[in-house]
Every structure is written in C-alpha cells, then in structure tokens.
Amino acid sequence: MPDFTSRIRPCYDGSLTLETERRSSDIDVEELACHLLSRDFLRRQRKVLQVLQGEHIFSKTQQMNLSRPERYRLGLARAKAIQRIVRRHGWDDDHYRMAEYLNDEMSPYHLHGTMFVTTIKEQGSEPQKAYWLPQIESWSIIGCYAQSELGHGSNVRGLETVAKWDPVKKEFEIHSPHLTASKWWNGSLGRTATHAVVVAQLLLPRAPSGKPTATRTGLPTATAEPKRVTAAEEEFESHGPQPFILRIRDERTHQPLPGIVIGDIGPKYGYASMDNGYMLFNHVRVPKEAMLSRYAEVSDEMGTLNRKGHPAVVYGSLTFVRGQIIMHARLVLARAVTVAVRYCCVRRQFRDRDSRSEDDEEMKVLDYPTVQIRVLPLLATSFALHYTGEYMYKLYHQSRQTIEKGDFGPLAELHSASSGLKSLCTMLAADGIETCRRAMGGHGFGGGSGLVGLNADYLSKPTVEGDNWMITQQVAAYLIKKMTEAVENREALPKDPTDELFQFYLKSRSHRVPQSIANEDGLIDDEAIVDAFRWRAADLSYRAYQARVVEQKPWTRLMIQLHSLSRAYSEQILVTNFYNSLDSTPSTLSEPTPLVLRTCFRLYALFTLDSFASAFTLTNAVSSDTIYSLPDVILELMADLRPHAVKLVDAWSIPDWLLDSALGRSDGKVYEDLFDRAHRRNPLNRVTFDPRWESEDIVLGSGDGGRQVLAKL
Amino acid sequence: MAPTPDWVKQLKPSGPQGHELLAAERAKSDLPVEQLSELLFTKEVLQKKQRILNVLKSEKVFDKSQNYFSGRTDRFEKALARAKKLRNLRVKHNWDLDEYRTATELISEPGPYGLHDSMFLITLREQGTPEQHEVFLKKAKNYEYIGCYAQTELGHGSNVRGLETTATWNSKDKTFTIHSPHLTASKWWIGSLGRTANHAVVMAQLIIAGKSYGPHPFVVQIRDLKTHEPLENAHVGDIGPKFGYNTMDNGFLLFNHYKAPHVSMLARFSKVDPDTNKYARQGSPSLIYGTLTWVRSTIVMQAGSVLARGVTIATRYSAIRRQFQDRDAPQGEKGENPVINYTMVQMRLLPLLAATFALHFTGKAMMDLYSENQKQMNQGNKGREDPNQRGAGPEETQSGSDILADLHATSCGLKALSSTIAAEGLEMCRRTCGGHGYSSFSGIGPWYADYLPTITWEGDNYMLTQQVARYLLKSARSVLANQAPNNDTTRILTDFRSRSEIGCAFDIIGSDSDIVSAFAWRASFLTFEALKHRDEQKKPWNDLLVDFYRLSKAHSQYMVVKNFHSALTAEETRGGIAGETLDVLRKLYRLYALHTLEQEGSEFYVSGACSRNQISLARTNAVMKLLKAIRPHAVRLVDAWAFDDWVLDSSLGRKDGKVYEDMFYRASELNPLNRITVDPYPDSEVLFKRIEGRGEGVRSKL
C-alpha cells in the first residue's frame, strides 16, 4: 500500500483537548479513585495489568474478526494462560479475579471456579466435600453447573430432567424425558467440562398409602407440595429439584460418556468465547453419592427423603452474588461513560448557531445539551450504583451474622432488596452502554468504540440470575405483604427501614402536601428529594396492596403495576444511599469533590424524577410546579458537572488496555487509533477481491469460480 | 461429534407442542389474515415476493445456515458471492428495479454492491449533466464502474459544511486537485468502498482561486479497472469490524494531491467554467431534497416492517414459551402459563405490534404525499427562483409547494422517531424472549445489529430534531405574523392560538379524533413555549437543544397518530377489509396512541391537553382493556405481516411453532464448534485435540 498516510495528523489535537479538559477541574483524581475503589484494588489492577499486557495471547486486536470456533479457541487459550500465570506468580483469589476482570471475556473455565465449586461447598455433605474439593482445586476435573433447560429458565420447579431412585440397586437413573428437558445455556458445558452439577427432579417410589416418603429434621422449609409426574410414573412422586454431581466426559478422550449427548448451543449475542452447552441423558445410572446431600438425603432402607438443616443460608450467598453484580454493573457503566465522555470532548460538530464568527472552532459535542442529557446522568448513575453496592455488602455482612445465629428475620428484607436492585442496576448499566454508544454517533457503531463487545457481553445480565421482569414480582409480593402488616397493625414496632417508611406513610397519608423540590432561584432541597422518592415507593406499595388485597384483583393483571412498584422501591434505595453517603464524603475528600458528588446526586435523582414525572405527580410525591421547573434545573446541574466530567471518569481508573477503545483513549488520540486499526490491523485489507459481477471468482485471480466460498456454506 | 443417536432424534418437546399452541392461538381469532396482508402490501406485491423468494431459495449461495458462525472475512466473501449471483439472476430473469429491490430485501443482509445500486447511481443520474451521463452513468449501469458515495469523514458526520477534503481548481491544466489535509479528512464509513468500488462520488470543498464555494460532488476513479489495486495517491481500505453490517465493506479513503479532470465535478446544478475559471449555479436542486424526503419516507415505512420482524418472532415465541404457574390458577390445574398471557409481556409486545401498523401507514401516507407533489412540481413551478439567491441548506429552499416544504421539514423528525422506535423495539422484543432471545438463532439480535446504523445515517436522530424545531419555530412566527402558508403544521398552530384563551377539553378515551387533537395540542403548546424561550427570553440556541428534541418528538408523534387515524378512516381501507378487522385495527390505533400518551403523560398534562385523571384512567384502565382485547388476535396480526420463515431465519419465530426442535437442530447439527474436541486441562498447551472433517492442524489465528 502506498503510504503517505503516516505523515498526516487530525485536524484538532485530541491530546491537547483532554489536557485542557483536565485543567478545567480541581478534582483530585487519585484521591477520588481511592475513595471509590480502594488503594488495594488499584495496586492489584496495576500489578495484574502489567503481567497480562506482556503476553501476546491477551492482545485483543484481532478478536472481532474471528469466527465463533476461533473465538472459543482463543478463549480457552487465554483461560489456560491465566491458570499458568496464577501458578507462576502465586496469585491469590483476588488477583485471579482481577485477571478475569481485565481479560474481559467469559472464560470457558468460568463456571468451574464459580457455581460449580460453590454448589459443592454449600450443598455437599462433609464426605462429598472431602472427595470432590481436592479434585476441583487441582483441576483434575473441570466442572460446570447445569440447571436451565431448553424449555425452562427461571422457574426451577418446572425442570423436566428426572433423577429416579432405584430402590433395588440403590442408585439413581438420570433421564431426559422430552426434548425440552435438554439442559441448555449452561456455561462451560458445551466443549470444556468433564463434570457437571445437574439439577434434576428427584423421583422416589410412592410409599404404601399412609406413610410419608419425606421426613424432616431441623427447620421447616417452604418446598412445593409433592406433585405427580406422569401417568407412566404413577408409582413415583417428585420431591422437587435436587443437585447431583455427575461425570459427563471421559477424562482421556474427552468424549461424552455413553447415554449422554452434549454439545455447544451455537452463537449468541455476546459470550463468543464461552461454550454454553446442551446435554441430554438416556437412562444414565449414577451411584447414590451423586446427590449432593447436605440438606437432603435418600435413605437406603426406606427410599425416603430426609431433609436436614435449613437451605436458607444459600439464599444469603445468592444475595452476596447480587451485591457483586451491582458492583460490577457500576464498573461496566463507568467504562461506557468513560469512553463517551472522552470521545465527546474530542469530537467536534458544527459551530454554535449563535456564533458570529466564521473562524470559531466547531463545538465539542459534549457542550451540546442533547449530548449531555444522555451522557451526564449516566455518569451520575455510576456513582449512585457505587454507594448502593457498598450498602449491599454491609447489609449482607450484617444479615449473615444474624442468620448464622438462627435468626432469619432480615433475610426477607435482604433478599427482596437485592433482587429488585440487581434487576434495576443491570438494566441501568445495559441500557446505559447502549445510550453511550449511540451518543457517539457513527463511530459508536464501529469496532473501535470498545462498546460493541461490552454491549453484547453485558446484555445477558438482565436475564441471568432470573429475568429482570420476573424477579420484580418477588419484590412486589414482599412489599404488599409488608404493607398489609403495616395496615393491620399500625402500632407494631418497626423491624426494618421498610416498616418505618410504611408506618410513616400511613400516618401522614391523609394530610400529604406534595413536595416542592427546587425553587425558581435554583435552590434545591436534597431532603425533599429523598422524601419524594420514598413517598412514591410507599404510595405505590399502598396502591398495590389496595388492588391485590382489598380489591382482590388478579395477579397477572397487576404485573405491570407491580413492576413499576419494584422499580420505584429500588430507586428509592439508590437515592437514599447516595444521599446518606454525602454526609461522610467531606471528611475524606478534598474540595471540590464533595460538592461535585452532591451535583451528581441531584442530577441522578432529578433526571430520574423527570423521567417518571407522571408517577411522581400522580402519587402526590411532588408538586406540579416542580415538574415544570425540572428541565431548567437539570440543564443547570449538567452545566455545573460538565467541567468535571473528564476527571470524574478518570477517577474510575479504567485502564486503556481494558477499554480497548480508540474513542475512549485516555490520551485523546482518537483518530490516530481509529485509522491505525482500520489501516494496519484489519485482515480484510489483505485480500483483493474481484468485484465484477460477471466473474465468478470472488478473490481476484483465484480462478476457482467461487468454489471456495460455496465450500464454506 | 458422534452422529445424533436415535434416542435423541425421537425426543419431543414436553407438554402441548408448539404447532398445537400456535394453532390454538390462530383459532382464538377469525381475523382474515390474507385480507389484512393484502391491505398492507397488495396482492400483486405479495405474489411478486413469493415468486422471487422461490428463485432465491433454490440457489445454494443464499443458504443461511452458516451465517451466524462465520468470521468477518468469510462473511464478506460470501456477501460478495451473493451480490454477484443476485446481479446474474437479475439479468437472467430480467427483473426490473422494483423486483431487484424486493430480492435484496428478502436476502436482508447489507451487500457490497449496496451503495453502487443506490446512492452512486442516484447521484450520477440526478446531479450529472447529459455529457456526464454518457461518460459515467452508462458504464456504472453496466457495473463496469462500481461506485460508492463518499461523504462522511473520520472527523465529520452529519455536518456537510464541516468536511475537510478539498478539491482545488487548477486553471492552468483545467483539473481539480483532490486532497486530504488532515487525518480527520479521511473519508470513513463509506459503504462498498473498502474492497469493492473502483469509483467514488466524493464530496469535497470546492476551492477556486483561494475562495471556498462549499461542498460539491466529484466522480473519482480510485482503483485500477484490471488489477483492482488503488490508484496512486488514493489510499483506500476497509475500516474493520463493526457492531453489525459486517457483510459490508465500509471503507476509508485519503487523497494525496490527486488530480481529477474537469468532467469529474458533477455539474448539473453548479459548475466551474473551464474558460473563464468562474463558478456558476444553474437550475434548482430542490428535486434532490425531494429525493432525500423520499429516502426518509422509505425509512419510516421500513421501520414498520423492520420492527414487525422482531414482533413476529417475539409474539409467536411468547405464545409457546411457558413459565411459572398462574398465581391465581385453581389448585390442581396443570401446566405453566404461556408468557403471552402475562400482562407484563403484553405491555411490552402489543404496543410494539400497534407501532408496526402505525409506522407502516405513516410511511405510506408520506410517500403518497411525496409522489403527489413531485408530480405537481414537475408540471408547474419550474424556474421560479433565482438559483444564485438560494442558500445551501435544504430547509432554506422555498420552491415547490408549501406542502412539500412541510413534508421535507417534518420528515426529518419522523425518520428520527420511527427508526428509534424500531431499533429500541427490536431490543425490547429480544429481551421479551428471555434467555433464548440472546441466542443468535432467535434471529432478532443480528437483525437488530444490522439495523442500528439507521439511527445515525441520513442524519443523526438527535441532530435532525434541531432541523424540525427550527422549522416549527419559523412556522410559529409566521402564524403570529398572520403570514402563514397553508399546510398542516400552520393549521394546528393556528387552531391552538385561536383557543389559547378558551382552553380545550379533549375526550381522549372516548373519541378517536380527539386523541389526534390532543397530540396536536401538545405539539403546538411545546412549539410556542420554545418560541417564547428563544424569541422573548433570548435563550442561547445551545441551551434549548433538549427542548427542541422534545418538541420534535412531540410533533412527530402527532404525525404518526394523525396518519394512522386517517388511514383507518380512508375509503381505501374501509373498502378493503371486513368490519371486524377494521375494529381490531382501530384498537391498535388506540393502543398506540394512548400508550404513547401515557408515556409522555406529564407533557400532555402540563399543556392542558388532558387532565391528570384522564391520564391515570388511560394507564390503569383503557390501555389494560385494549391489551386484553387485542391479545387473542396477536398471532394472526403478526401472520398478516407475511414473513417467510426463510426470511426470518429464526428458531423462535417459526410459523409452525417448532421452536425447540429447531433450536436443537441448529445447535447440534449446524454448529461447527461441535466438530471440535478440546483438551480442557490448564496444564496442557494443546487446545483443540481433534477437528472432524479437517485433516490439517489448526492454524494460529492471532
């Protein structure tokens, strides 16, 4: 290729632009970074980054050009490389997780180190743990977790795979009675794993009439009533889903064992490096020990189920996982916002319409309110998520202690709060990535934005761990229950913040005056903001209680209303936690950071308020004057935040290597990088095609009449 | 992988089978599907589609089974093979332009000839002189010249006036020097440029004797016709992988003092006289702006069918997918509930279903209006204005009827609104499908990815809203000055003014036409509010951009509601379908309108178009009732969009409901990853142990 291109420069200097941006704010980036991420995290990030950057295998330059099988291959190679690095450097778990975070793709080993090992640890009996954990830790087996099926996702009780107890041979028979029973979507299963935790319906022989087949020791549980399975299995009854650990592939040939069919489910929206799999069983026999039996065990003599202990502790760890998801969501969102803020400072478009001089430079697009309104509220949201994530960790640790003491009281509050929040936060992050991507115009669509892969990989989050729309039902059911209690017993001692809110609401309902949040002089009442969010949540809870408990409306008909309720309740938590954090920041952070954080709080809260303006007015939470003045107030808040935007995203400390984005580079060399990627690193440019339609050759001079292409179909 | 064992082949999905469920859905309603399809497309078009589809299906090169698995270079290579085959078929079957477009639509992947077929040929035809038609257009029509349209640059998108590429007139040798002074001047994103085109229409700033005359189009040869290598001083290549559109070679192009002859500047509307070296304008380019209006109308209409694809898939799958038992179901009732019975799913899907029809009828109305006026304009109005007096921007042209000017200005807003509805709607459909929506086999994800750039091209959606606002402000000023031209926009603004001291009371729940009035009221209110901010309070333009965005959206929503409503009252519609069908369509209209109204509730309330109580009733009562009433017709309504399974290429959206069978088939039989056996242990350097059907080892791909 002729190359006069190495000499030419962009019209505006991106590095200079970002330097100017950084000079316009006095925020101490390092201080804020430590506040958000901790010194340990930052040190670890630097250390691990240095090692990964040194290995060619982690270079991302070609991955967007690869086909699916190639992407998986690369994913496996990287997963192996990380294992070897961990051993070489003697890294602990935190370092390993940092490596996974920086490697930034779903590793084919992911399930081995997460759900697989966690399930064995939490659901295995002591002998089972003693047998399996050493093999897992030495990687002589590689595991996955097989719960979802082709026909069933979130509803565990609907699973079709069965584990039938054979009372004569004292073993289980695992079987897939239908096509929809096929395990599906299970990560690491498709090509990688040798073992799987399989969740299956436990079938036990029906006892001669009168005798129960299940006995319980310890605390009672809320399991479904035993249900009949199919006509052919009249003599068996189901005891609900139970986890089994199974060997699924031969250690040497790595082929599936007889009676088991396994494969990868094919390409997806993201997760190209992960082999999400399917699996079917044809009457596969496994020993009694396969069933993980910390909480339930089949007795040899009677073929009955003995339950022991309380599996509620498990929900505790699910809550912790959700806390992690939120903390991850904030970093993902921060990443998208980092790219958008930096690029929108470098990118220029049109001169100001009010400008009088032809010589004025084109405006930075971040100075356009239409761009600000998309990007800056998301910047504020990343902080909102942060303070709630912190609160969740705290809540988890507090509840953990009381649960272990045998007190399950706060679990409901914890579980309810975490599922709704997880749903909201992942949605905010997923939608936020897409909003940022679009705010960047055409280049956002290109591979050089760095958000293309992020968007695809992150989009599954709203569905894993329970579909966001379904999970909100749990929150609403919980709130209706709480409101019913509060109505029925107005004088009871509040057990948790929700009780307090509801009692306050019921007392002041009759004489509520809608809040005025901002006045015309631009003064904003922060406490009134919090009050408005809390009031809306309480009022919507009360309406849901009215509709369901008093008027007995059908549940399905209320679902939409209940979804809004869940969202309002979670937003109330985000706003309250953000607000509470403002009190403590001035002591740890130097000016102007606490002030800027307060602006972020207001922007997040008022932007949200404006988006749901009609719900806030209909519930009498805020006055209509407030709604009318919001657009102007928001515009001013954005103007206040604007000079600090670049430094705020800098504080999230996302390394350029992780961003993998021409647009989001911290040095602002946007166009140089875009051009470099297109011109020097693009494999398509190594091929000269024959574009004339009369010629059947696709590659110029190949003389194969296009046969090579047909062979690939 | 071992061949699929018999016991697997014999497995069926549990419970009621997909085809039974869809049959039950279709039995719930007696909506005449064919009749409705014919109302949307006409019988003739449907037959033509079927005929072309049969031809395409019989050609192996169009086989889609490996599309979802391939890498970038393979995908492009296949797309080129398809484009060539398509051209061959066109010659062989003597297809006209319309048939050729239908075929492209059915293949529904962007192809390497895409920009040649559209913008390149159109620009040559519309902006070239007869002499230039002789030099360029003839060969282009023959595909000897394969072209593209190079406007956007690395540093500049929507703002044509900011382009950096220059074309400097050399009076000595009567040539132009085309040059890229900066890296950001590089042409970028140009479809068909990366590997395919040998010519390009290049938009560059014309400079004569040191003076700039703004952007003009030049036809430039960029590659050798035989070797297909770039010419000297033209540097060209593909820009790399993208979110979608990976079958297209979007390209970059830089010039290093590249010499082009005088004939290369397309000179129908402006030219450089080679003898006097003077610049001159001639004729009126408003026909071109007409073309832009036409392009936007097609985007609006396509948005309906683009979204309909996603809605078809999600609706059919929601009728089959079951999840959780109904909380209120009687004890002992078996089986989980098809998710389409959940109001939460209905709330997401059915308003989108309504939107597909709303957009379709709006696009159609715009195109009708456009052709009507185009005809009138070609008859009268010729040479009315002095070409040297006009400004460069489309919104500043005066020619043509007031109605066309109105249509042009408002089409920007509609393009923005409809493509945003379609793109966001598709993503909503994908998410409504739960986990399986995430699989490529859902057919929605890849489709969404290819559609997304529409939001940005032909003007970024957010930037476009400024043009609409500017136009609306101008119209409002003319209304205040009593000098308003006669068109729809000024009519609603005048109505609003005349009632400003009386107020309004629209019966949005009881009357279909009052809904239109309420939308008109809110749009007018926002227009005069914005005008107050700008003219009285003298707020800076920049501070008003968010207001303008809302204003444009409000006005476009009014247009959609109005057009949907008039389509339902039109003679053509009422004559073509049975009364019951019309009734369902009317419910869709009300659902679309009230759902939108409820979403934008605070603007309607603040403007006084309706009361808080009405909005509350719309939300909790009217919309819920409509969902319930439309629900039984959902599957038949999507059937009426008449997508062939081959076009949908989706497991979840299959017409016969064999969702799970197809998912499994694609995963187990079509998936190349399953031909690979790996070595999974971290201590072994071996990655792929064995690949079926391939002898040689795996090459390094890094």
The band of B331, judged by pLDDT with boundaries at 50, 70 and 90, is: low
Residues 6+ apart with CB under 8 A from A49: A102, A655, A657, A658
The pLDDT, as a whole number, for residue A456 is 75
Cα dihedral sign for A232, A237, A243, A244?
Answer: negative
- The residues facing B272 across adjacent strands are B279
> Is residue B334 pLDDT above 70, yes or no?
no
The helices-and-strands tally (H runs, E runs) of chain A is: 24, 12
Whole-number average pLDDT of chain A: 86
Disruptive mutation site among B438, B599, B662, B700 for chain A (greatest number of A CBs within 10 Å): B438
DSSP B278: -
Answer yes or no: do A328 and A454 share one domain: yes
Burial class (CB in 10 A: 0-12, 13-18, 19+), B481: exposed
Q: What does the alpha-carbon distance between residue A37 and residue A654 come to, in Å, rounded to a whole number?
A: 11
- Is B669 touching A (CB cutoff 8 A)? no
Tell me how crowded residue B134 is: count the other CB atoms within 10 A of its CB: 12
Q: What percent of chain B has pLDDT over 90?
A: 56
Q: Which domains does chain B have, with CATH numbers?
A: 118-283 (2.40.110.10), 289-327+334-380+396-639 (1.20.140.10)
Task: Flag if A688 and B162 touch (Cβ within 8 Å).
Answer: no
Answer yes or no: do A409 and A285 share one domain: no
The pLDDT, as a whole number, for residue B256 is 94
Answer yes or no: do A344 and A449 share one domain: yes
> Is residue A226 pLDDT above 60, yes or no?
no
The pLDDT, as a whole number, for residue B181 is 92
Q: What does the alpha-carbon distance between residue B565 and residue B593 come to, in Å, rounded to a whole number?
A: 10
Q: Which of A155, A181, A254 sits opposite B689 (nearest CB)?
A: A254
Q: What percent of chain B has pLDDT over 70?
A: 90
Cα dihedral A640, A644, A646, A649, rounded to 10, equals -100
Residue with tokens 């022989």: A205
Burial class (CB in 10 A: 0-12, 13-18, 19+), A314: middle
Tell me how crowded residue B207 is: count the other CB atoms within 10 A of its CB: 16
Task: Flag if A352 and B235 touch (Cβ within 8 Å).
Answer: no
Domain residues for A644?
315-650
Of A629, A650, A671, the position where a domain reaches its end is A650
Q: Which of B157, B430, B673 sits opposite A349 (nearest CB)?
A: B157
3-state DSSP helix/strand/coil % of chain B, to nearest 5:
60, 10, 30
What token pair was written down for A103? 């490697």
The pLDDT, as a whole number, for residue B701 is 40
> Is residue A469 pLDDT above 80, yes or no?
no
DSSP A207: P
Tell me how close the Cα of B209 comes to any Cα of chain A, in angstroms: 19
Domain count, chain A: 2
Tell me how close the Cα of B377 comes to any Cα of chain A, in angstroms: 32
Answer yes or no: do A369 and A222 share one domain: no
Residues 6+ apart with CB under 8 A from A567: A420, A424, A472
> Is residue A219 pLDDT above 70, yes or no?
no
Burial class (CB in 10 A: 0-12, 13-18, 19+), B381: middle
Whole-number average pLDDT of chain B: 87
Q: Where are the beta strands (DSSP E) in B441-521?
A: none
The band of B62, judged by pLDDT with boundaries at 50, 70 and 90, is: very high
Pairing mode of beta strands A195-205, A162-166: parallel
Residues 6+ apart with CB under 8 A from A195: A116, A141, A142, A143, A144, A245, A246, A247, A248
Closest to A268 (Cα-Cα) out of B443, B416, B633, B123? B443
Minimum Cα–Cα distance from A273: chain B residue: B673
Q: Which of B99, B458, B603, B661 is catalytic?
A: B458
Q: Give the residue-averaged pLDDT of A361-377.
A: 90
Instruction: Check if A465 is active-site.
Output: yes
CATH number at residue A138: 2.40.110.10
The band of A222, judged by pLDDT with boundaries at 50, 70 and 90, is: very low
Q: What is the pLDDT of residues B198-254, one digit of tens each?
A: 999 999 999 999 999 999 999 999 999 999 999 999 999 998 888 888 899 999 999
Answer yes or no: do A303 and A417 share one domain: no
**Where is pLDDT greater, at A682 or B93?**
B93
Task: Flag if B688 and A347 touch (Cβ within 8 Å).
Answer: no
Q: In terms of pTM, does the model score above 0.95?
A: no
Task: Flag if B546 and A674 touch (Cβ within 8 Å).
Answer: no
> Is residue A224 pLDDT above 50, yes or no?
no
Q: Which of B12, B83, B336 sits opposite A179 (nearest CB)?
A: B12
- Chain A residues with CB inside 8 Å of B678's CB? 76, 191-192, 254
The pLDDT, as a whole number, for residue B696 is 40
The pLDDT, as a whole number, for residue A318 is 67
CATH number at residue A465: 1.20.140.10
Answer yes or no: do A528 and A459 share one domain: yes
Answer yes or no: do A306 and A326 share one domain: no
Q: What does the alpha-carbon distance between residue B45 and residue B38 come to, in Å, rounded to a whole number?
A: 9
Closest to A198 (Cα-Cα) out of A240, A160, A244? A244
**Where is pLDDT greater, at A244 or B460?**
A244
Between A30-44, A681-695, B20-34, B486-500, the lowest mean confidence (pLDDT) is in A681-695
The pLDDT, as a whole number, for residue A69 is 87
Q: Residue A296: inside a domain, yes or no?
A: yes
Q: Where is mean pLDDT largest: A667-676, B341-350, B628-637?
A: B628-637
The pLDDT, as a whole number, for residue A218 is 45
> Is residue A358 pLDDT above 70, yes or no?
no
DSSP secondary structure string, B118-168? IIIHHHHHHH--HHHIIIIIHHHHTTSS---EE--BTTBSS-GGG---EEE
- Chain A residues with CB inside 8 Å of B542's CB? 352-354, 363, 367-369
Pairing mode of beta strands A260-264, A277-281: antiparallel
Answer yes or no: do A402 and A504 share one domain: yes
Answer yes or no: do A390 and A253 share one domain: no
Task: Flag if B154 and A675 touch (Cβ within 8 Å).
Answer: yes
Q: What is the pLDDT of residues B575-618, one digit of tens each?
A: 878 888 999 999 999 999 999 999 998 899 889 999 988 998 99
The band of B29, judged by pLDDT with boundaries at 50, 70 and 90, is: very high
The pLDDT, as a whole number, for residue A414 is 67
Q: Residue ranges of A for the binding site for FAD?
A: 187
> Is residue A415 pLDDT above 60, yes or no?
yes
Cis peptide before A592 (omega within 30 of 0): yes
> Is residue A207 pLDDT above 50, yes or no?
yes
Q: Residue A134: inside a domain, yes or no?
A: yes
- Chain B residues with CB inside 8 Å of A672's CB? 183
Q: Give the residue-averaged pLDDT of B76-84.
A: 92
Q: What is the pLDDT of residues B413-469, one digit of tens each?
A: 898 899 999 999 999 999 899 888 888 899 998 888 888 877 766 566 677 788 899
Q: Residue A395: inside a domain, yes or no?
A: yes
The pLDDT, as a whole number, for residue B380 is 54
Q: Residue A73: inside a domain, yes or no?
A: no
Q: What percent of chain A has pLDDT over 70?
A: 88
CB burial readout A205-224, b (16+ within 10 A) else e: bbeeeeeebbeeeeeeeeee
Q: Residue A464: inside a domain, yes or no?
A: yes
| SS3 label, residue A695 | coil
Task: Flag if B666 and A677 touch (Cβ within 8 Å).
Answer: no
Between A346-355, A529-538, B390-399, B616-625, the lowest mean confidence (pLDDT) is in B390-399
- Chain A residues with CB inside 8 Å of B456's CB? 438, 441-442, 444-445
> Is residue A462 pLDDT above 60, yes or no?
no
> Is residue B332 pLDDT above 70, yes or no?
no
Q: Residue A249: inside a domain, yes or no?
A: yes
Q: What is the pLDDT of residues A82-124, one digit of tens each?
A: 999 999 999 998 999 999 999 988 899 999 988 899 889 888 9
Q: Which of A176, A264, A560 sits opposite B347 (nearest CB)?
A: A560
Answer yes or no: do A128 and A269 share one domain: yes
Answer yes or no: do A263 and A322 share one domain: no
DSSP B337: P
**Contact criterion met (CB below 8 Å) for A346 and A664:** no
Pairing mode of beta strands B251-255, A296-298: unpaired
Greatest C-alpha distance within chain A: 95
The pLDDT, as a whole number, for residue B465 is 84
Answer yes or no: do A405 and A547 share one domain: yes
Q: What percent of chain A has pLDDT over 90?
A: 49
Task: Flag if A153 and B78 touch (Cβ within 8 Å).
Answer: no
Q: Residue A211: inside a domain, yes or no?
A: yes
What token pair was written down for A296? 């339930």
- What is the number of residues in chain A? 713
Of A310, A341, A362, the position where a domain reaches its end is A310
The pLDDT, as a whole number, for residue A518 is 78
Task: Flag if B673 and A264 touch (Cβ within 8 Å).
Answer: yes
Task: Flag if A370 and B615 touch (Cβ within 8 Å).
Answer: no
The pLDDT, as a whole number, for residue A603 is 97
Pairing mode of beta strands A305-307, A214-216: parallel
- Is B7 touching A (CB cutoff 8 A)? yes
- Chain B residues with CB inside 8 Å of A706's CB? 61, 81, 84
Q: Give the residue-averaged pLDDT of A360-387.
A: 91
The pLDDT, as a whole number, for residue B328 is 63
The pLDDT, as a whole number, for residue B395 is 40
Q: Residue A706: inside a domain, yes or no?
A: no
Of A264, A294, A310, the position where a domain reaches its end is A310
- CA distances to A693, B396, B480 from B297, rounded to whole Å, are 31, 20, 30
